[in-house]
Amino acid sequence: MRRPVTLIALTALSVAGCSNGGQPTAGPSTIPSSSVPTTEATTPSQAPTQTPTSTPSATQQPSCVDQKLKTLTMREQAAQLIMTGINADGMTSAQRAVVEGQKSGSILLVGSGGSLAHTRTAMAAVTDAATVKGIRPLIAADQEGGQIQRLKGSGFDRMPAATVQGEWSAGKLTAKARQWGKQLKQAGVNVDLAPVADVVPESLKGQNAPIGKLDREYGNTPDQVGPAVRAFVQGMNQAGVATSVKHFPGLGRVRGNTDFAAGVVDTTTVRGDADLKPFADGIAAGTSMVMISTVTYTKIDPDNRAVFSPTVVQGMVRGDLGWRGVVITDDVGAAAEVASIPAGQRATRFVAAGGDIVINAKSALTEPMVDALVAKAQQEPAFAVKLTGSVRRVLTLKQDHGLVSCG
Q: How far is CA 82 from CA 134, 151, 154, 357, 388, in A?
A: 17, 22, 30, 6, 14
> How many Å apart are CA 157 and CA 143, to the nearest integer?
11
**Could you tell me where the beta strands, DSSP code E, fall in 225-333?**
242-248, 265-266, 289-292, 296-297, 326-329
| Contacts for 147-150: CB closer than 8 Å, 24+ residues apart | 147/214, 147/215, 147/216, 148/214, 148/216, 150/88, 150/109, 150/110, 150/111, 150/112, 150/113
Q: How far is CA 388 from CA 32, 310, 356, 391, 402, in A?
A: 20, 18, 10, 5, 21
Amino acid 63: pLDDT: 80
Q: Map residue 107 onto helix, strand or coil.
A: strand
- Does the N-terminal peptide bond of residue 32 adopt cis geometry, omega within 30 degrees of 0? no
> How many Å apart are CA 193 and CA 196, to the nearest integer?
9
DSSP string, 32-78: -GGG------SSGGG--SS--TTPPPGGGS-HHHHHHHHHS-HHHHH
Amino acid 60: pLDDT: 53
Query: Could you tell me the pTM of the whole model?
Result: 0.86
Where are the chain's structural domains? 5-47+61-84+158-400
Amino acid 406: pLDDT: 82
- The rounded radius of gyration (Å) of the Cα atoms in the chain is 19
Amino acid 331: pLDDT: 98
User: Which residues in the chain show pLDDT less than 50?
Assistant: 1-33, 35-59, 61
> How many Å apart are CA 359 and CA 335, to the nearest integer?
10
Instruction: Give 200-223 pLDDT, tens digit per residue.
Output: 999 999 999 999 999 999 999 999
DSSP-H helix ranges across 209-355: 222-239, 277-285, 310, 343-352
CATH 3.20.20.300 fits 5-47+61-84+158-400, yes or no: yes
